[in-house]
C-alpha cells in the first residue's frame, strides 16, 4: 500500500506476455496532443473509466512484474478492480498470442522487417464499441489531426469528467447523451452534416438496443459486420475498423483504407497505389492475421 498525499493508493499488477512493448503502446497513445481520453505523463498513462456508475481514475505504467495499475483518486472494490483489469487487458490486447503471427511474418517480404523493428507492438484498442464506431465516422475523409480536433470538441462538450491534481480526465460521451443532441449543436463544432447525422444515428441505435457490444459477442465476422452495417453511416470500412479495434477479430481489416494502400505502395516501391484486387491478393497470405498485418503496415508509415 502506497501513499499519495492523503490518499491511500492500491496497486494492482497485470502480467504481460514477452511480446508486449509498453513503449510502443505509449507511442501510439501520443499520436495527438488533442487526445482527451487518456493522458501520458512520462512513462505513465492516466485513464478515467466508468465502472458500475462510478468514475475511477487509473495510473498505468510498466514495472518488472508487468503492468502496474494504481488508483490515485480513490480505491475501488475488488469487483471494480477486476473490471478495470479486464478493460486494460482488452485495451492493450494482452490476451493475443503473437507467436504464430511473427512466425508467418518473418517469411513475408512486406512484414519481415517490420516485425523485427516493432516487435511487441499490439493493437491498442477501443473496448467501448460506441466510441469505436463514432471515432471511425469522425475520421472518414478528413486528415487525422482534424478528426482529433472534432473529437476533442465533442468530448469536452458532452463527455463526463473528473479533476485530480488540477488535471481534467474525460470520458467519451455516452449514447444516451449523444442521442439527445440537436444536429445544429454538432454543426457548430464543425461536424459535417453527414458526420453529425451518423453520430446521432449511431447513438440512437445503441440507446434503443438495436446494437451493443454484448449482442455482437460470439458472432462470426460477417454476422457482426451485417449487424453493424444496418446502422446508417456504418459501411464496410467503419464496421471492419470497429471489429478490429473493439473485438480483435483477427480477420477484420479495412480493405479500402488509404493507409494500407500507401504502405504497400511504399514497401513494394510501386509507382501507383495498389488496386483493391491487388490488396486482396496480398492479404490472402495473412489469413487469420489480417488485423495485425494492417497494424504493422500502418506503423511503417
Read off the C-alpha cell for 85. 483489469
Question: What value, to the nearest 5°, has the Cα angle with vertex 211 and ends 181 and 231?
Answer: 65
Element (H, E) at 294: helix 290-299
Give me the catalytic one of 18, 23, 63, 257.
257
Q: For residue 207, with 0-12 CB atoms within 10 Å meaning exposed, 13-18 middle and 19 or more buried, which class applies?
A: middle
**Half-sphere exposure for 212 (CA within 13 Å, toward CB):** 10
**Cell numbers describing residue 104:** 508467418
Interatomic CA distance for residues 167 and 61, integer angstroms: 18
Element (H, E) at 28: helix 22-29
- 60 φ, ψ (degrees, to nearest 5): -120, 130
Element (H, E) at 66: strand 66-70
Residue 80 near residue 52, CB atoms below 8 Å: yes
**Which H or E element spans position 224?**
helix 221-228
Q: Could you give the CA distance from residue 109 to residue 112 in angstroms, rounded to a whole number?
A: 6
Strands (E), 144-185: 161-164, 167-170
Cα–Cα distance between 276 and 274 in angstroms, integer? 7
Catalytic (active site) residue 184: no
Bridge partner residues of 56 (DSSP): 49
For the annotated catalytic residues, the residue numbers are: 257
Amino acid at each position: 500500500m502506497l501513499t499519495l498525499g492523503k490518499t491511500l493508493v492500491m496497486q494492482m499488477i497485470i502480467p504481460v506476455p514477452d511480446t508486449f512493448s509498453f513503449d510502443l503502446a505509449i507511442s501510439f497513445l501520443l499520436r495527438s496532443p488533442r487526445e482527451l481520453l487518456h493522458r501520458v505523463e512520462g512513462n505513465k498513462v492516466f485513464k478515467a473509466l466508468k465502472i458500475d456508475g462510478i468514475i475511477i481514475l487509473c495510473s498505468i505504467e510498466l514495472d518488472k512484474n508487468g503492468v502496474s495499475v494504481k488508483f490515485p483518486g480513490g480505491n475501488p472494490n475488488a469487483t471494480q478492480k477486476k473490471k478495470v483489469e479486464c478493460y486494460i487487458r482488452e485495451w492493450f490486447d494482452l490476451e493475443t498470442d503473437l507467436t504464430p503471427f511473427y512466425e508467418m511474418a518473418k517469411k513475408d517480404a512486406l512484414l519481415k522487417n517490420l516485425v523485427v523493428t516493432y516487435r511487441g507492438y499490439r493493437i491498442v484498442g477501443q473496448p467501448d464499441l460506441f466510441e469505436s464506431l463514432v471515432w471511425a465516422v469522425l475520421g472518414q475523409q478528413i486528415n487525422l489531426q482534424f478528426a482529433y480536433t472534432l473529437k476533442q470538441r465533442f468530448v469536452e462538450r458532452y463527455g463526463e469528467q473528473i479533476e485530480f491534481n488540477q488535471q481534467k480526465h474525460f470520458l467519451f460521451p455516452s449514447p444516451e447523451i449523444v442521442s439527445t443532441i440537436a444536429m445544429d449543436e454538432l454543426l457548430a463544432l464543425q461536424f459535417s452534416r453527414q458526420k453529425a447525422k451518423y453520430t446521432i444515428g449511431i447513438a440512437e441505435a445503441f440507446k434503443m438496443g438495436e446494437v451493443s457490444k454484448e449482442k455482437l459477442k460470439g458472432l462470426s465476422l460477417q454476422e457482426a459486420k451485417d449487424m453493424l452495417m444496418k446502422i446508417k453511416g456504418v459501411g464496410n470500412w467503419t464496421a471492419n475498423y470497429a471489429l478490429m479495434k473493439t473485438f480483435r477479430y483477427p480477420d477484420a481489416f479495412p480493405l479500402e483504407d488509404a493507409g494500407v494502400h500507401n504502405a504497400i505502395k511504399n514497401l513494394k516501391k510501386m509507382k501507383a497505389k495498389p488496386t483493391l484486387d491487388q490488396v486482396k491478393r496480398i492479404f490472402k497470405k495473412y489469413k487469420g492475421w489480417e488485423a495485425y498485418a494492417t497494424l504493422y503496415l500502418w506503423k511503417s508509415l
